[in-house]
Amino acid sequence: MSTPRGASLLHEPRLNKSTAFNKDEREAFGLLGLLPEGIDDLETQLRRAMAQLDAKTTDLERYIYLSQLQDTDETLFYRVLVSDPARFLPLVYTPTVGEACLRFGHIMRRSRGLYLSVERRGRVREVLRNWPERDVRFIVVTSGERILGLGDLGANGMGIPIGKLSLYTAVGGVPPEYTLPVLVDSGTNNETLLADPLYLGLRRPRAPREELDAFVEEFVTAVQAEFPKCCIQFEDWAGPDAVRLLARYRDRVCCFNDDIQGTAAVALAGVLAALRITGGRLADQRFLFFGAGSAATGIAGLLSEALRREGLRDEDARSRIFLVDRRGLITRDRETIAEYQRPFAQARPAVTDLVTAIEELRPTALIGLSTVGGAFDRRVVGAMARVNERPMIFPFSNPTSHSECSAEDAYAWTDGRAVFASGSPYPPVRHGGRTLVPGQGNNVYIFPAIGMAVYATGARRVSDEMFVAAARGVAEEVTQSDLDVGLIFPPTSSIAGTELHAAVRVAEVVFDQGLAAVPRPPDLAAYVAAQAYVPRYRSLV
């Protein structure tokens, strides 16, 4: 395909270099007069972008600026992100993306990705052909029904696939031209959105299950036909839909669900690193979940897999995992229970109170996935501190307003003994003359590594063993100095190295399981590193 000229070139974000076009390029592509005479290099452009970001007064304004930069100069956008991941990841994804999704129809400047309406049933493959790139390797697709802890945001949920795929590239190294954000628009049951004149989605109630499933089947089939090397990541679907669709497609196409498997892997990584503080074996731990949806059962399932690898039988592994929802402990004699919860239902009397459950079950780790802000109050955290010398307390619900407890409270209520990680970021806490650094159990440690491994190996499927490998890879990157300040996830300042290490661990499993589409290289780490995208301008002449 020929390179566009003049203003058209300046409007092509993948090729645009703005003020970095050199003299020869300006002559060759009709850019004379369309740019100032000064010629920048990428580092000068980076300084200018930083100055403009520093002038913004809110994170939402910074999100909007970065979105516009991605739409105009993709290389500079990624150069900004990789310059300081600890600063910019929270801006392009959690927690800022939550606010951006709430206001998506009000802040949208330019459409990005594909919107697949259920009212286009029978034409999905035709719509996919409208995407300009013909070699798509990764699709992140959402229904917008369960965005973070914010609920049904309909078409506003498109901010999630856009943000996720930005991280595939920025920290995972997947080249951006191979990525495609997709929103399946089946309506919304959010009355506030339906009444909003600036809402951009279908103005109708959500489609029933049968209609949604038929549309997703058409979508998956069309993706395989149009983009045969594509891996599909299901993201922020309603819990029952997420479980059902993953079960339907995981052994049929290359796909995974980040809310189920990615969340599970990051939780496992946190536990593995935390054990270097608390001592003991993984096989000796007991896990209590507050929240029993698809994310919780996903973590429970991966923990079971890891426990089996430690030598436990299936029944023994599951006997160490307890699910508590708003009605209490899930037991086998409960009248109504979801099928995906059944493997973890316990053969014991019901317990309705979380504090009582802690005192009776004596878990070593308390994991929150309830989206109930403040659910781990002083009584709950105190109970964990009474039954453990170093209790693992992981309030993983997002965004921060939905976190089950804050880092400051967890440390205060355990006299600094808690091993803490949360789904949203918290600043360091000063306690007892020490500075404790809370970890953020963010899926960003996992899904870009899975993506890079799949991209590098051409993996035909995504297996649970690959997520266990990713978790172990992340935990291996936690240093003793990290552990000394209570940090059980690697610092995000060095996340690119963490992702690369985890991707190599995943790639090893891909080759061991015979899922790769390329020969196994003699130096796997060097091979994976060589595939990674680096944001730099290429010469056009």
Has residue 438 got a pLDDT over 70? Answer: yes
Mean pLDDT in residue range 50-64: 97
Cis peptide before 36 (omega within 30 of 0): no
| pLDDT tens string 384-402 | 999 999 999 999 997 788 8
Q: Which is nearest to 41 in space by CA: 17, 23, 71, 25?
A: 17
Does an H or E element contain 429, and which?
strand 429-431
pLDDT in tens, 504-513: 999 999 999 9
Rounded CA Rg of the chain? 23
User: Which candidate in 17, 63, 78, 164 is catalytic?
Assistant: 164
Percentage of residues of the chain with pLDDT beyond 90? 94
Query: In this structure, are residues 231 and 182 in contact, taking their beta carbons and an 8 Å threshold?
Result: no
Domains of the chain in start order, with CATH, are 6-74 (1.20.1370.30), 96-253 (3.40.50.10380), 261-444 (3.40.50.720)
DSSP 151: B
> Over the chain, what is the mean pLDDT?
96
Give the whole-angstrom CA distance, residue 400 versus residue 416: 21
Identity of the amino acid at 80: V
Contact by Cβ (8 Å): 403, 373: yes
What is the distance between the alpha carbons of residues 12 and 10, in angstroms, rounded to a whole number? 6
What angle (nearest 5°) sits at the alpha carbon of residue 449, between those of residues 448 and 453?
115
pLDDT tens digits for range 117-165: 999 999 999 999 999 999 999 999 999 999 987 899 999 999 999 999 9
pLDDT at residue 424 greater than cutoff 90: no
Kindly name the residue from 63, 93, 340, 411 that is annotated as catalytic: 93
What does the pLDDT average to over 450-461? 98
Residue 17 catalytic? no
Question: Mean pLDDT over residues 440-460, rounded?
Answer: 96
Specify whether 93 is catalytic: yes
Pick from 443, 445, 446, 368: nearest CA to 407: 368
CB < 8 Å & 24+ apart, contacts of 517-525: 517/457, 517/458, 517/459, 517/460, 518/456, 518/457, 518/458, 525/500
pLDDT at 139: 98
Q: Is 290 left (phi over 0), alpha (psi -120 to 50) or beta?
A: beta
pLDDT digit string, tens, across residues 306-364:
999 899 999 999 999 999 999 999 999 998 899 999 999 999 998 999 999 999 999 99
Q: Report the DSSP beta bridge partners of residue 256.
A: 233
Task: Single out the residue of 181, 250, 184 nearest to residue 211, CA to CA.
Answer: 184
What is the structure's pLDDT at 150?
87
DSSP-assigned letter for residue 183: E
- Which residue carries 């058409």 as its tokens? 218
**SS3 label, residue 395:** strand
pLDDT of residue 149: 77
Distances from the Cα of 493 to the Cα of 92, 489, 497, 513, angstroms: 15, 11, 9, 33
pLDDT given at position 255 = 98
280-290 average pLDDT score? 96
DSSP H or E stretch at residue 139: strand 138-142
- As a three-state string, the secondary structure of 48-59 is HHHHHHHCCCCH
* Model pLDDT, residue 1: 59
DSSP state of 325: E
Position 297 confidence tier, pLDDT thresholds 50, 70, 90: very high
